[in-house]
Homo-oligomer: A and B are copies of this chain.
Amino acid sequence: MLFVLVNDLNKHIGSEVRVRGWTHKIRKLGGMNFLMLRDRTGVVQAAIEGEVAEKIKGIGVESVISVRGKVVKEDRAPGGVEIKAADIEIVSKVSDEIPLEINKKDLPANIDTVLEYRPIALRHAKEQAIFMVQAEIAKSFADFFKGEGFTQIFTPKLVAAGAEGGAGLFKVDYFDRKAFLGQSPQLYKQIMVGVFERVFEIGHVYRAEEHNTSRHLNEVVQMDIEMGFIDGQDDVMDIQEEFLKRLSQDLKRNYSKEFEMHGASIPEVTKIPRLTLEEVQKLIEKEYKKECRGLPDLDPEHEKMICEYMQKQGKGDYVFVTHFPAKKKPFYLMDDAEHEGKSLSFDLLFRGIEISSGGQRNHLYDVQVEKFKRMGYDPENFKDYLSIFKYGMPPHGGWSIGLERITMKMLGLSNVRQASLFPRDRHRLTP
């Protein structure tokens, strides 16, 4: 007799089957014991009496068990079926009382407690939902870009220098010298445009930033793309928009239940508005009476305001903000020939927070060398990177999306740590 997954039990009504999983809950009702068994697909109720009831005495929730019994229709049970337990085998008995109640509707609100007991907290249905959605986002990303002719690449995270200058890098003892943890695969993905034209990567990036906020982590997973032969940065935004449409479709088809569990909605994506930083600042001043014109970037508060405003106007949950000042953006971005001092750059805001940055890059050797000099970098330090521009690079651009941030805002979580299995921050290196 094979084991049946909880999800498949309704195909076995009237038969004897075996199921296995965790003891999710035990309760007595009118002399009858009901044990809720949880496997990776769901929870089923087992009705237990007589000798079998003796076996589960004192086993405690989360003990791993195997139940044999007949499947019957039972409208009052979750999933509409129940197992009349003929036998129970205890596979692993818990040896300690569980520190968090993971069989209640919600976990305790205190995030520090949830993170302290992370291995157990993650067994809660709502926690599981977060990481099922996260896996789907990564899969949807990989599938979409593979379909668009992109090649997946794996680039090193141990690097000799940072992609965005020297600040914010973690130092590594690399044999007899120093290495750093990569902040971004930027330079590598540009090199790879020279090879495959279109590439994507899903990988860790590191930022040694001291701030300890609800939106920053020191280690995150980044979804990166870079594509050649673009006519301008709108091409790069277009493909991001197409991906976000596809993502919403994938999530709707496969994970609506998980969104419901979190009281969250899957974004409707039609046409994402594209506003310059100046236009956004003008709007914020007009609508929110907040002075911000001339600032080189949006504050978190401004990001919230513009998103709220666009949502109210029925323009959706995403907003592109474009044309940031060149001075405040990394060296690899192309200056906008039409707007003095501006770069061909954009951020994507989603429900009040930046989840992606991108733009068009320099692709001509002389232009990049000149830009290095203007920004005070020594081109000698970027020799390998610069070499690609000597040997023919097409106009290109790309972007990255932070996997934890998009997961957080998708599900309406309040802290990015909730969207990382084992978050790394200023104080957290364990579990």
Q: Which residues of A contact B (CB under 8 A)?
A: 3, 5, 20, 22-23, 39-41, 62-64, 91-96, 98, 117-120, 122-123, 127-128, 131-132, 134-135, 138-139, 142, 146, 149, 151-160, 170-175, 177, 179, 181, 188, 191-192, 194-198, 202-204, 206, 208, 210, 218-219, 221, 229, 363-366, 384-385, 387-395, 403, 420-424, 426, 429-431
Contacts and interface: CB of A to CB of B under 8 A. Distances in A.
A388 B156 CA distance: 32
B390 A197 contact: no
A123 B388 CA distance: 11
B158 A196 contact: no
Contact of A219 (B158, B173, B221): B158
A395 B146 CA distance: 36
Given A96-B390, A219-B157, A128 B91 contact: no
B431 A96 contact: no
B210 A20 contact: no
Determine how many copies of this chain the complex contains: 2
Closest 8 CB pairs of A and B: A384-B431, A62-B392, A40-B197, A135-B152, A96-B390, A160-B429, A119-B191, A122-B195
Given A22-B392, A196-B128, A394-B20, A188 B64 contact: no
A384 to B, nearest CB: 3
A195 B64 contact: no
B171 A173 contact: yes
Contacts of A365: 95
Given A158-B219, A202-B202, 18 more contacts: A39-B197, A41-B149, A64-B393, A94-B392, A95-B365, A95-B389, A96-B390, A118-B384, A119-B191, A119-B385, A122-B194, A122-B195, A128-B195, A134-B154, A142-B142, A156-B422, A157-B219, A203-B204
Contacts of A192: 122, 421
28 contacts: A3-B229, A40-B198, A62-B392, A91-B394, A91-B395, A92-B363, A92-B393, A95-B365, A95-B389, A120-B194, A120-B387, A122-B192, A122-B194, A122-B195, A131-B196, A132-B151, A134-B154, A153-B421, A156-B424, A157-B219, A158-B429, A160-B429, A170-B172, A170-B173, A170-B174, A174-B429, A203-B203, A204-B204
Nearest to A220: B154
Nearest to A135: B152
Contacts of A154: 134, 138, 204, 221, 403, 420-421
